[in-house]
Structure 1
Amino acid sequence: MTTTTGNPVGEEHVSRSPLSRLQHLLHAQATIGPAVVLLIAIVVFALLSDRFLQPGNISLVLQQVAVVGTLAVGQTIVILTAGIDLSCGAIMVLTSIVMAKISAETGLPGVPALVLGFLVGTVCGLLNGLLVTRLKLPPFIVTLGTLNVFFALNLWYSHSATIRGTDMPRLLLWTGETFTIGGTRVTYGSVIMVLLVAAMAFVLKNTAWGRHVYATGDDPEASRLSGIRTARVLFSVYAAAGAVYALAAWILIGRIASASPQAGQFENLDSITAVVIGGTSLFGGRGAIVGSLIGALIVGVFRNGLALAGVDVLWQTFAVGVLIIAAVSIDQWIRKVKP
């Protein structure tokens, strides 16, 4: 009697249910789910309000997303290492105040002011990385502490006063200037955000550093045993994130045409929301920068669409909360995938 053998992998694939196939697809391509949600949201809100797809409204959404989307890039590389950064908003605001105030009070030109701002943001990120890697403290506790430290420094240095755009060099406000594409006004800050997303996506996918970031988040002990210096990777990730937050500070100044110590206080939560909704796992090792951009767009589209539909701000916040819970629940389900 002959026995017929088949390809085990093929048999497993055939035996999978549609739900299991979907689970494997989302595990392999983390950005598919968020992209579908974004597309559905755009269609629904376009049907609910004829103003939603008008050029002026699209421009408004892009401007609102630029700051959060930029912060989400830094937040993503931190979360990919199974960490989290609650201090990103505070670093951004502190950096914006430093750049704006020193240029307004001393007449420092735009380029040196920007360099100083990027230095401040990077140093703040280095402090987070130092506490996480040297003292072995949990990232949540470290960044919760530095959130308060940086915010207090921000209030102390600014004296709780807003620096007006008229007192700053034009370069600091340049990110808020616009150009027109197909009737839609696009800010240079939005362009910077897109270029940053593309650059970081390339780095994560095509460099040894990017592969080490994913490996450290997926299994730090196995990564260490394979020769990856995980502490150095974590340290560099927080430093890079700090530099990204400084870039977000520049975009923020252009967005509001001033530097306010009260601006962007809660952007840390919005950046985490964007990253989670965008398909990056809070447990590290899986996700994509492009997904975080899509997540930021989802939040922006939901809030804008619900506002146009006349929904109270309370329920807009409620909807975003539901999105977060749904995204984390789906992530937990996807993590259970069996190869």
Structure 2
Amino acid sequence: MRSPGTTRPAAESEPGTALRDTLRYALRTPTIGPLAALAVAVLVFSVTTDTFLAPENLSVVLQQSIVIGTLALGQSLIILTAGIDLANGAIAVLGTIVMAKLVFEGSNAAGALLIGLAVATFLGLVNGLLVARLGLPPFIVTLGALSVIYAVSRLYSDSRSYPVTNDLLVFWGNGVDLGGVLVTWGTFLLVGLYAFFWYVLTKTAWGRHIYAVGNAPESARLTGINVPRTVLSVYITAGLLYGVAAWQALGRIPNADPNAYQTANLESITAVVIGGTSLFGGRGSVAGVLIGTLIVTVLRSGLTQAGIDSLYQDVATGTLVIVAVGVDKVFRRGGTR
């Protein structure tokens, strides 16, 4: 029998402590939660549909992940600085229009490609200047850019699409057959990009500066980090990645359409957030973003295979974002205690 002043051991007073701590650790670890969610999604759709694991469908899942994955990579760099980019899909679409229309009108394919990449990078620069130098909110800047860039795409294309047959522009859509699954060169490029930025974010001063700015910009400034320059460099890099996504998109579907990728911004944000990157900045990993991209594409494919209407798929995607942000908020707040 305990004396009146004796305190119960934590394990006795709170039987669920160990389980709760384990769950909290898993949710705080950037890749464990997303990886488990991906495994569950694959298992569920494998059991509930007859076609999900078919080689043809797996090929489509991989191909669908390429453009969103590249957009999500650029998006993740911006979100790590506590920003957001609502215009990334629009930038990629304008990039496809520029590349395809120039070639359609007789320009050299390599020159058209470089111009398309330059346009996307320039738009990233403009957004970065407005955010980093003028101090405007990233949400407002990129929301305005979203409308402007989609309008420019329609004006520049005369609201028509341009078929693409040039080998250079559709290069990333070619690939090799591995066990019945077509793995495109774009897939290899995506993996290479993620490996490169994993190294940059974890092994270089620039990567450490990005995390520092996202965690506490004032503290980063006091330690000698040039915060505006770091933020500007992130938007420029993201713009270049959006240009690469445009090139990949032409390999995925050899047709430049000003109405394409209307929900790419939401899907890229979803991939970043459910991949464990905090919308509040300073926490996340590119490995988690890659897993998040696969979750988004697996969810889309699985629901399509199950015959679910695309509108309900949008509902599911939006719900995922809200849940992921809510979980991040709860555990981020819990970690400050």
Structure 2 match to 1:125: 124
The residue that corresponds to 2:281 in the other structure is 284
Aligned to 2:314: 317
* CA deviation vs aligned residue, 1:257-292 (integer Å, no higher than 9, x gap): 111111112211111111111111000000111211
1:262 aligned partner, one-letter code: N
Alignment of 1:103-252 (within 5 A): 103-108=103-108, 110-166=109-165, 169-252=166-249
- The separation in 1 between residues aligned to 2:20 and 2:46, in whole angstroms, is 32
Structure 2 unaligned regions, length at least 5: 1-10
Alpha-carbon deviation of 1:239? 0.2
> Whole-Å Cα distance in 1 between the matches of residues 257 and 328 of structure 2?
36
Cα pair distance change 1:216/1:26, threshold 3 Å: farther
The aligned amino acid for 2:71 is: L
Q: CA deviation at 1:77?
A: 0.3
Q: Helix, strand or coil: the match of 1:240?
A: helix
Instruction: Answer yes or no: is the 8 Å Cα contact 2:28–2:331 preserved in 1.
Output: no
- Aligned position for 1:45: 45
SS at match of 1:179: strand
- Counterpart of 1:160, as a letter, is S
What amino acid sits opposite 1:154 in the alignment?
S
Corresponding residue number in structure 2 for 1:271? 268
Q: Which moved more, 1:64-73 or 1:288-297?
A: 288-297
User: Deviations 1:145-193 (Å, cap 9, x if unpaired)?
Assistant: 1111211211111111111123xx2100111113111210112222211
Structure 1 unaligned segments of length 5 or more: list them: 1-10
* Length-normalised TM-score, structure 1: 0.91
**Change in CA separation of 1:297 and 1:118 when aligned onto 2, cut-off 3 Å:** same
What is the letter of the counterpart of residue 113 of structure 1? A
For residues 149 and 312 of structure 2, the distance between their equivalents in structure 1, rounded to whole angstroms, comes to 31
Offset at residue 338 of structure 1 (A): 4.6
SS of alignment partner, residue 177 of structure 2: strand
Runs of 4+ in structure 1 off by over 4 angstroms are none
Letter in structure 2 aligned against 1:153: V
1:202-230, Cα deviation, whole Å (9 max, x unpaired): 11011100000000000000000010001
* Contact map agreement 1:23 1:337 (CA 8 A) in 2: no
Equivalents in 2 of 1:158, 1:42: separation in Å? 39
Distance 1:293 1:158 in 2: 32
SS of the counterpart of 2:170? helix
Which residue type is aligned with residue 161 of structure 1?
R
* Distance in 2 (alpha carbons) for counterparts of 1:23 and 1:84: 28
Give aligned pairs, total.
Answer: 324
Residues 169 and 251 in structure 2, CA contact (< 8 A), matched pair in contact too: yes
**Kept in 1: contact 2:268–2:293 (CA 8 A):** yes
* TM-score, normalised relative to structure 2: 0.92
